[in-house]
Structure 1
Amino acid sequence: MSELSAAATLQALPYALPECGNARVVLFAMRRMGAHGLSDARAAHALFTAFGEAFRRPLTLIRALMADMAANAAAPIAIAPCCCARMTPSEQVLLSILARVETRVESARLLMQDLLGQRHVDGVLASAAAVAAAFADEGRPVSL
């Protein structure tokens, strides 16, 4: 890899993957749904593998969050392919929102406003809180 392509990669994907396995599951599901649609079988399989029989709630809520973000974003939200070992700034922000939405709501709201490029984000923030709660309720909280 040349110096130029390495620098371009680090600029486009400046963040390392999260150490938290739960955050990695969310990231994988979001990347698959973003690239292949909300009904992606591999995203569903990843959640089934992580949650067992309790996979339906987190799967449905991640689908709802992805749909809400797509409907409310003022600009495209950059996601990387599933094989990337690094994250885009948008992915890092979204995982930060999920990690703090239950404990630091105002901070999560500001991050969501920046991510979506608009001020009114309460509906999308509620979707993010539901995803975070679904993971936490199954003993798999998202952290960074």
Structure 2
Amino acid sequence: MTDTRPSSTPASANALASATTLLPHPLPACENARIALFAMRRMGANGLADARAAHTMFTAFGQSFRRPLVLLRALMADLAATSAGTIAIAPCCCARMTPAESAMLSILARVETAPESARYLMADLLGVRRVDGVLASAAALAAAFADEGRPVTM
């Protein structure tokens, strides 16, 4: 009798290599960065008025949710309008991040403390030289998170 069980080694190894190539970064350890990432993914996939993104912000920020939510919507709109190409986002259930998502969270974490580094990351992410408007949106969002006691760190 022959063994009809599928060989899991080659296929599993290929799937793992593919996943780590497309999603090379682990989720951030910072809970606040994970909140921002989840809301970005929801808005990127389902539009700026996504109810789950709004609910996540309400759950995280309580009655002070409006400012971070509106600023996140503004940032997402600015990113879409300014980008020279597509910005890759992963589905909400993914336990890893795309390079673009990692760059976006790094920008939020650095925009106040290392603005030149944040500017270079934003220019690379968007593929354009003039990123002042989008960077201002990112700074406002980072400040909104920090003002509510939820600074984004990486």
What TM-score, normalized to structure 2?
A: 0.93
Deviations 1:100-129 (A, max 9, x none): 000110000000000000100000000000
* CA distance in structure 2 between the aligned counterparts of 1:2 and 1:98, rounded to whole angstroms: 35
Question: 1:87 aligned to 79, 97, 120, which one?
Answer: 97
Compute the RMSD of aligned alpha carbons.
0.6
Q: Percent identity?
A: 71
Any stretches of 5+ residues in structure 2 without a counterpart? 1-10
- The alpha-carbon deviation at position 5 of structure 1 amounts to 1.2
The structure having more radius of gyration, on CA atoms, is 2
* CA distance in structure 2 between the aligned counterparts of 1:71 and 1:21, rounded to whole angstroms: 28
Any stretches of 5+ residues in structure 1 without a counterpart? none
- The alpha-carbon deviation at position 3 of structure 1 amounts to 1.0
One-letter amino acid of the counterpart of residue 43, structure 1? A
- The alpha-carbon deviation at position 61 of structure 1 amounts to 0.2
What TM-score, normalized to structure 1?
A: 0.99
One-letter amino acid of the counterpart of residue 76, structure 1? T
Number of aligned residue pairs: give it: 144
What secondary structure sits across from 1:91 in the alignment?
helix
The 5 Å alignment of 1:27-46 reads 27-46=37-56
**What corresponds to 1:77 in structure 2?**
87
Matched, 1:66 2:76: yes
What secondary structure sits across from 2:65 in the alignment?
helix
One-letter amino acid of the counterpart of residue 23, structure 1? A
